[in-house]
């Protein structure tokens, strides 16, 4: 519905709309609107986190048993993996990076990517050990890999957008860090990937 309305407005308001304008408008809705909504879907999964002994023992802090859900654990774990991946990639790339990963983002290196991948997996396995989700070590490793791939994909897509626009940063809202998209690009695709990973691959969520 939103895409239809935006395209209709463009057709009416712009005298000679170009295809690139129409597609960029739809992409903007998808990129900045639809993809982030999966974080809400993920958080609202109301299945009790019965295997999470840590959450069960902290029910008072978490707001009671009804708030100790898989949605909460999954959201926390995904965010932890993203932070770990970004941190691992930064430090490994800075100290060991020699081989360029991809031309669209010259500062990214293969060594940094490997460090980010291992850090994401380590974070997922650590969360599994303490929070009891996913339901196996293999599931945690798979989650770590998925989060890393989706986060670096979001980062690279943002690099393509900025390069096409001739910009170094999305904005200067955050001094030294660019704009919100520069900080959140790793999160945009990850919420959707983790949500569908749970829905279609983890036992009990299909």
pLDDT band at 161 (very low <50, low <70, confident <90, very high): confident
146, 174: one domain: yes
pTM, to two decimals: 0.80
- Can you give the pLDDT at residue 60? 47
Q: How far is CA 118 from the centre of its chain?
A: 17
Cα torsion 95, 99, 104, 105 to 10°: value is 0
Within a domain: 17: yes
Closest to 159 measured CA to CA, from 119, 101, 115: 101
Are 79 and 155 in the same domain? Answer: yes
By the 8 A CB rule, do 49 and 72 touch? yes
CA proximity to 132, closest of 189, 55, 194, 200: 55
- 54 and 31 in one domain? no
1-19 pLDDT per residue, tens: 666 676 677 666 666 767 6
Same domain? 100 vs 192: yes
Nearest to 187 by CA among 85, 98, 53: 85
pLDDT bin (cut points 50, 70, 90) of residue 185 is confident
Query: Are both 33 and 58 inside the same structural domain?
Result: no
> What does the pLDDT look like over 46-82, one tens digit per residue?
766 555 555 555 554 444 444 568 888 899 999 999 9
Number of domain units in the chain: 2
Residue 82 lies in a domain: yes
Whether 141 and 116 share a structural domain: yes
d(CA 156, CA 148): 12
Same domain, 83 and 16: no
Give me the domain span that covers residue 112: 50-200
- Confirm if 149 and 157 have CB atoms less than 8 A apart: no
């Amino acid at each position: 519905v939103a895409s239809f309305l935006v395209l209709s407005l463009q057709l009416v308001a712009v005298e000679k709309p170009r295809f690139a304008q129409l597609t960029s408008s739809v992409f903007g809705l998808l990129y900045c609107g639809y993809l982030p909504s999966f974080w809400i879907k993920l958080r609202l999964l109301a299945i009790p986190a019965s295997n999470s002994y840590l959450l069960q023992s902290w029910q008072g802090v978490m707001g009671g048993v009804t708030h100790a859900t898989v949605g909460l654990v999954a959201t926390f774990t995904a965010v932890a993996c993203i932070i770990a991946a970004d941190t691992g990639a930064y430090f490994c790339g800075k100290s060991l990076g020699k081989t360029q990963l991809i031309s669209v983002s010259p500062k990214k290196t293969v060594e940094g990517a490997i460090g980010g991948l291992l850090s994401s997996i380590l974070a997922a396995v650590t969360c599994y050990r303490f929070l009891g989700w996913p339901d196996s070590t293999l599931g945690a490793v798979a989650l770590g890999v998925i989060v890393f791939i989706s986060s670096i994909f979001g980062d690279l897509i943002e690099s393509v957008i900025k390069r096409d626009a001739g910009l170094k940063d999305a904005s200067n809202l955050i001094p030294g860090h660019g704009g919100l998209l520069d900080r959140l690009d790793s999160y945009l695709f990850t919420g959707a990937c983790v949500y569908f990973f749970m829905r279609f691959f983890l036992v009990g969520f299909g």
